[in-house]
Amino acid sequence: MDVDGPGRLRRDAERNRERILTAARRLFSETGLAVSHNDVARAAEVGVGTVYRRFPRKEDLLLALFEDQVGRVVQLAEAAAAGDDPWQGLCGFIEASLEMQAEDRGLQEYLLGPQAAELAGVANQRITPVVGELLARAKALGQVRDDVEVADVAIVPIMVGSVMDRTRGVAPDAWRRVFALVMDGFRPGSSAVLPGSPLPPEQLEKVFAAWKSGRHA
């Protein structure tokens, strides 16, 4: 076996990629989008040329981190759907997703940029079916009011995320109280009918794209 052959080179390249992504994730979460290729190279302990070869533009690096985050959110949703209590699963899934949002400042800035609608569409294609199944089970058990739809769940990160961003430097956990209040509104027991209809997918994507307006960390 040739330990210096193509297999070894592929393993080295994959290790470098993971080191770059790990370093970039930490730097972006700490300082936002101002991170440079040089910053990432130093933190990952690789040459800056290695970073440029794998990720020629900062957007390429951010897209890789976004895809990784979507995969993590899908795993959270699938784990929640596999549980015995769909209401607890739904609340736990949304809360864990919000915690990811709170911890990664740079990636959230990227998600709220001009590419927001496209990225939201990609994420929703993978996440919505799992959340829809979870919501249907919760309704069947009388844990969620009948007129709540998946689009209503999708709006929660926007509502709570706005509070999260505006309290980040003052009371970083204030969003948890707001989250609890929002989720309480999903519960049955109210005689009031929800006004209007859930947003269709095309309108929901526009809302995500417009969310960046007036937002500040």
pTM over 0.85: no
Among 56, 74, 97, which residue terminates a domain? 56
Among 56, 79, 94, which residue terminates a domain? 56
Band of pLDDT at residue 130, cut at 50, 70 and 90? confident
DSSP H helices, 32-85, are 37-44, 48-54, 58-81
Number of folded domains that form the chain? 2
Residue 202 pLDDT more than 60? yes
Asked if residue 167 and residue 75 are part of one domain, the reply reads: yes
Asked if residue 161 and residue 95 are part of one domain, the reply reads: yes
Question: Are the C-beta atoms of 217 and 111 separated by less than 8 Å?
Answer: no
- What share of the chain has pLDDT > 70, as a percent? 79
Distance CA(65)–CA(73), nearest Å, equals 12
